Chain A
């Protein structure tokens, strides 16, 4: 697709705005589903956005022994996630820089954000920060390979690692979505999304119990605007992962031309798709217990094996 630079930039801007507002709304939606399933009324869906506004207005407080890394880490998280959101084909196959939207770039941009937050956790010089960073990096070290091999399987099938290319190829070959390698890669990616987004079988985003915290322990020392950035970055990450999951395995509805009605339709469809996935994830969360930390590697290695099997299936099956 050869859209004008202005239109491409517009697409990126819409995607960014959608992730900034949509990410927290997904959190709100999942909390709402959970509350309803537990028989509570729950907070309004827009509650996370209100929380962010409240946090942003507070003063900056840093831990006494922290260095410049502590305030820098949330900025890197936001910048890397925003870059990934801006280049990824979410509502249209032609965002700005979309020509360079390689799946491996997205994977390593996500890793950049994780590394930054882990270093922020270690910078506090407390037991909690170190504990969270250690656990998060352990899980990340195991989730990363599964993610990389799963997207490698998708690239192998489409013959390109270019994300718009993969999505366009899927649109051209609808039978691919039911092919064994897609299904295996989907299974691996779903597990990885749970791990990367810190959702329940892996991590519990609403706990503050010492023994079970992972992400929350790492960001325990953040307050005020910096906490808002970390939370927003995490929410944007979830929005990005869910949108990519939706577009890679069910790409219909994505805009292939840059006309305004098409883009709006693409935005609406993307919103509906991610909301649907979010509801399913929330339902899974309600019905499962959090795994013990040392059981998590088992499901992540299962994801890795599934991803390897996806590659093998793609090679063996014509």
Chain B
């Protein structure tokens, strides 16, 4: 049953792509969306079956890929990633119906979106090196082409270039890692590798894991391999942004868990300390940039870096604890990491889709040109608000439940003695704490500047609510933010099955059953449903008290402007000014570029004619580590161009010289 659903899902996805490529413009977007949604629902059903039963579904076909054949095998760990990808995929296809109606529905884009979504569903189910790499490359190429549908804008071309290089370098590293293990294990199916992994020399295992970690961490957007992410996610069409941040980056995490825990069966402590280290750096760097960025989608992209950092800390802690033999503690950390990942998919997908609606309605994603959108896009604003409250980990929304679980796993983890693990956990606690406050600042800025106050430009003032399908797609992802927040007990026990991928197998459940979330063997429990009830009761009571006396409608009056008559929208704080104090505090990390031009009146130097201030925050990692590399590459290009001047004589000379060298070498 599940096997048929899995195959059916891939078939529906392929059909969606064909339909998108062949039908006329009027019907293709809707038809492709319906088929893609079908593919997502079939995959969701297959994965839900796997997760509920705890078993594994395997499908083999020798015909599809020549030489190696295709091996698909869905286990509970893969099922978690398939379910998140399917939910985000459904929302994105629904959203795309309205989005494409305004010029985004080219034949290429409509045909590629189903391919991208289907490849996201296929990667976690792939169970051999060839199948995995095929699905992985399909995902990379389809998303790259979707990013290039905006090729008329130079920013999109630039982003695509960065993305192409990073994703292919990453894929090469992953392939090299797989080939290394596969060669020693004597087989390319994941099952064979898992059996033979114990016999692989430790040095080869470590090298393979480090290569795989580099490739997968770059996909997950871990600093310093994240440089493509804050460029590609904002520039992609909005449904693709949501899929990239909500589903694609997850697969980087999936690869690390699958390789480290699944294929290599745990490995060494220092592997996992490296993972925690990557996570800590990513969380801090991402949240700082998110707090400082005045671009709505770039802010969301950096916040993805931050959240993936938190997930990496959890995965690394789980790996380190598992190496130390603490199975229950490791399972708790892994469950917390997976829960954070699932929640991140929901709220980040929701936020990206809502941001896309804003960009669509106001024509810009620059927060400094937005404002007052709550009254113009009320539903989108409310959905963005739900996502923002959730990402800030405020109770009773979903982000709180997973951050609480992460904190609990760190708290318990300290009982595993070992200085290295304790240091890693301490760094994790510090990173989690620091990102909490910065994320709150970032999203108060995003919501407060973008949706509240007065519109800062005429375009923002004329913005209107998004199309119904766009609102529905966004709302679909806001639902889990509420449901997983209020009733985490319904989902989290299922994640324990996925955590059984950890070496050591199924640990006794680290969570107690019952309402809310409870850590087994302690009194620590949260009951978000009760908290939500208390909060709503408090809200109702306070509202009743306020309304008890006085008129129902409030009188509107001019805001206080220090006695001036005139209040304009330009007097409001902008996103840049909102973030300025934080930017100043973290000047050493952010290193903003500031320019101040003052021109004076010709009559007197004491009177200014115009003051121009420009402030811009570049990625310090990009400037420090990547610019020299790209500079080197282009200098090499210059040298190579001088050698290739198009003269036939010179090429004949090169051929002759090469022949002579070859003969000398061979002789």
Shortest C-beta distance, A173 to chain B (Å), equals: 16
Interface stretch of the complex, out of B196-204, B578-586, B656-664: B578-586
Say yes or no: A130-B394 contact (C-beta < 8 A), given A62-B555, A143-B437.
no
Taking a contact as CB atoms under 8 Å apart, the answer to whether B440 and A135 are in contact is no
Taking a contact as CB atoms under 8 Å apart, the answer to whether A64 and B395 are in contact is no
Flag whether B607 is at the interface (Cβ < 8 A). Answer: no
Flag whether A125 is at the interface (Cβ < 8 A). Answer: yes
For B434, list chain A residues within 8 Å (CB).
Answer: 145, 304
Centre residue among A74, A78, A165 by max chain B CB count within 10 A: A78
* Cβ proximity bits B435-464 to A, threshold 8 Å, 1 near / 0 not: 011101100110111001110000000000
Shortest C-beta distance, A227 to chain B (Å), equals: 11
Taking a contact as CB atoms under 8 Å apart, the answer to whether A138 and B524 are in contact is no
Taking a contact as CB atoms under 8 Å apart, the answer to whether A311 and B535 are in contact is no
Cα separation A293 to B584 with both chains bound (whole Å) = 11
Taking a contact as CB atoms under 8 Å apart, the answer to whether B414 and A112 are in contact is no
For B579, list chain A residues within 8 Å (CB).
Answer: 134
- A125 contacts which of B389, B453, B534 (Cβ < 8 Å)? B453
Flag whether B549 is at the interface (Cβ < 8 A). Answer: yes
- B375 contacts which of A67, A130, A138, A297 (Cβ < 8 Å)? A67
For A142, list chain B residues within 8 Å (CB).
Answer: 437, 585
Flag whether B400 is at the interface (Cβ < 8 A). Answer: yes
Taking a contact as CB atoms under 8 Å apart, the answer to whether A100 and B531 are in contact is yes
Cα separation A142 to B569 with both chains bound (whole Å) = 29
For B561, list chain A residues within 8 Å (CB).
Answer: 126
Shortest C-beta distance, B551 to chain A (Å), equals: 7
Taking a contact as CB atoms under 8 Å apart, the answer to whether B374 and A141 are in contact is no
Say yes or no: A160-B534 contact (C-beta < 8 A), given A111-B392, A122-B449, A125-B569.
no
Interface stretch of the complex, out of A102-110, A238-246, A250-258, A275-283: A102-110
Cα separation A129 to B550 with both chains bound (whole Å) = 26
Flag whether A115 is at the interface (Cβ < 8 A). Answer: yes
Flag whether A220 is at the interface (Cβ < 8 A). Answer: yes
Shortest C-beta distance, B374 to chain A (Å), equals: 5
Flag whether A299 is at the interface (Cβ < 8 A). Answer: no
Say yes or no: A63-B441 contact (C-beta < 8 A), given A122-B573, A138-B581, A149-B429.
no
Taking a contact as CB atoms under 8 Å apart, the answer to whether B554 and A161 are in contact is no
Say yes or no: A161-B546 contact (C-beta < 8 A), given A111-B392, A122-B453, A149-B429.
no
Taking a contact as CB atoms under 8 Å apart, the answer to whether B560 and A80 are in contact is no
Flag whether A59 is at the interface (Cβ < 8 A). Answer: yes
Say yes or no: A312-B426 contact (C-beta < 8 A), given A76-B539, A134-B578, A160-B524.
yes
A residues 151-177 near B (Cβ < 8 Å) are 152, 155-156, 159-162, 165
Flag whether A181 is at the interface (Cβ < 8 A). Answer: no
A residues 44-59 near B (Cβ < 8 Å) are 56-59
Say yes or no: A115-B392 contact (C-beta < 8 A), given A57-B549, A162-B523.
yes
- A144 contacts which of B414, B436, B538 (Cβ < 8 Å)? B436
The chain A residue sitting closest to B429, CB to CB, is A152
Shortest C-beta distance, A111 to chain B (Å), equals: 6
Cα separation A244 to B628 with both chains bound (whole Å) = 53
Taking a contact as CB atoms under 8 Å apart, the answer to whether B426 and A100 are in contact is no
Cα separation A121 to B444 with both chains bound (whole Å) = 11
Taking a contact as CB atoms under 8 Å apart, the answer to whether A65 and B372 are in contact is yes
Taking a contact as CB atoms under 8 Å apart, the answer to whether A62 and B452 are in contact is no
For B550, list chain A residues within 8 Å (CB).
Answer: 57-60, 224-225
Taking a contact as CB atoms under 8 Å apart, the answer to whether A83 and B555 are in contact is no
Flag whether B522 is at the interface (Cβ < 8 A). Answer: yes
- A315 contacts which of B372, B414, B440, B452 (Cβ < 8 Å)? B414
Flag whether B527 is at the interface (Cβ < 8 A). Answer: yes
Shortest C-beta distance, A106 to chain B (Å), equals: 10
Cα separation A124 to B454 with both chains bound (whole Å) = 8
Say yes or no: A141-B538 contact (C-beta < 8 A), given A112-B394, A119-B452, A131-B573.
no
Taking a contact as CB atoms under 8 Å apart, the answer to whether A78 and B433 are in contact is no
B residues 536-569 near A (Cβ < 8 Å) are 536-539, 541-543, 546, 549-551, 553-562, 567, 569
Cα separation A143 to B436 with both chains bound (whole Å) = 10
For A118, list chain B residues within 8 Å (CB).
Answer: 444, 448
A residues 213-237 near B (Cβ < 8 Å) are 220-221, 224-226, 229
For B554, list chain A residues within 8 Å (CB).
Answer: 59-62, 71
Flag whether A140 is at the interface (Cβ < 8 A). Answer: yes
For A109, list chain B residues within 8 Å (CB).
Answer: 395, 531
Flag whether B488 is at the interface (Cβ < 8 A). Answer: no
Taking a contact as CB atoms under 8 Å apart, the answer to whether B448 and A123 are in contact is yes
Cα separation A79 to B533 with both chains bound (whole Å) = 11
For A83, list chain B residues within 8 Å (CB).
Answer: 531, 534-535, 538
* Cβ proximity bits B381-421 to A, threshold 8 Å, 1 near / 0 not: 00000000100111100001001100110110010000000
Say yes or no: A229-B542 contact (C-beta < 8 A), given A60-B551, A67-B374, A144-B437.
yes
Flag whether A137 is at the interface (Cβ < 8 A). Answer: yes
Interface size on A, residues (CB 8 A): 86
Shortest C-beta distance, B549 to chain A (Å), equals: 7
Flag whether B571 is at the interface (Cβ < 8 A). Answer: yes
Cα separation A162 to B395 with both chains bound (whole Å) = 16
Shortest C-beta distance, B245 to chain A (Å), equals: 22
Taking a contact as CB atoms under 8 Å apart, the answer to whether B555 and A125 are in contact is no
Flag whether B516 is at the interface (Cβ < 8 A). Answer: yes
Shortest C-beta distance, A15 to chain B (Å), equals: 13
For B539, list chain A residues within 8 Å (CB).
Answer: 75-76, 79
- A141 contacts which of B430, B527, B582 (Cβ < 8 Å)? B582
For A141, list chain B residues within 8 Å (CB).
Answer: 291, 437-438, 440-441, 582
For B581, list chain A residues within 8 Å (CB).
Answer: 134-135, 138, 293-294
- A133 contacts which of B411, B444, B536 (Cβ < 8 Å)? B444
Flag whether A262 is at the interface (Cβ < 8 A). Answer: no
Flag whether B530 is at the interface (Cβ < 8 A). Answer: yes
Flag whether B364 is at the interface (Cβ < 8 A). Answer: no
Taking a contact as CB atoms under 8 Å apart, the answer to whether A104 and B404 are in contact is yes
Cα separation A307 to B481 with both chains bound (whole Å) = 31
Shortest C-beta distance, A141 to chain B (Å), equals: 4
Say yes or no: A124-B559 contact (C-beta < 8 A), given A131-B573, A145-B436.
yes
Flag whether B422 is at the interface (Cβ < 8 A). Answer: yes
Cα separation A156 to B426 with both chains bound (whole Å) = 11
Shortest C-beta distance, A278 to chain B (Å), equals: 25
Cα separation A60 to B553 with both chains bound (whole Å) = 8
Taking a contact as CB atoms under 8 Å apart, the answer to whether B523 and A308 are in contact is no
- A108 contacts which of B393, B538, B567, B580 (Cβ < 8 Å)? B393
Shortest C-beta distance, B187 to chain A (Å), equals: 44
Flag whether B577 is at the interface (Cβ < 8 A). Answer: yes
Cα separation A155 to B433 with both chains bound (whole Å) = 15
For A273, list chain B residues within 8 Å (CB).
Answer: none
Flag whether A69 is at the interface (Cβ < 8 A). Answer: yes
Flag whether B138 is at the interface (Cβ < 8 A). Answer: no
Flag whether B525 is at the interface (Cβ < 8 A). Answer: yes
Taking a contact as CB atoms under 8 Å apart, the answer to whether B559 and A133 are in contact is no
Taking a contact as CB atoms under 8 Å apart, the answer to whether A220 and B524 are in contact is no
Flag whether A86 is at the interface (Cβ < 8 A). Answer: yes
Taking a contact as CB atoms under 8 Å apart, the answer to whether B555 and A156 are in contact is no
Taking a contact as CB atoms under 8 Å apart, the answer to whether B437 and A152 are in contact is no
State the A residues within 8 Å of B (CB).
56-65, 67-69, 71, 74-76, 78-80, 82-83, 86-87, 97, 99-100, 102, 104-105, 108-109, 111-112, 114-115, 118-119, 121-131, 133-135, 137-138, 140-146, 148-149, 152, 155-156, 159-162, 165, 210, 220-221, 224-226, 229, 293-294, 297, 304, 308, 311-312, 315
> What are 16 residue pairs bridging A and B, where the CB atoms are less than 8 Å apart in the complex?
A61-B555, A63-B557, A67-B375, A78-B542, A102-B526, A104-B407, A108-B393, A111-B440, A122-B573, A131-B573, A145-B433, A145-B437, A149-B430, A152-B433, A162-B524, A162-B525
Q: What are the 9 closest A-B residue pairs judged by CB atoms, nearest first?
A: A130-B573, A79-B538, A122-B448, A144-B437, A125-B453, A141-B437, A60-B554, A145-B433, A63-B559
Known: A67-B374, A111-B440, A225-B549. 17 other contacts (CB 8 A): A59-B551, A59-B555, A62-B554, A67-B372, A82-B538, A100-B531, A109-B531, A111-B393, A125-B452, A130-B449, A130-B453, A137-B441, A141-B291, A145-B430, A155-B411, A159-B522, A294-B585
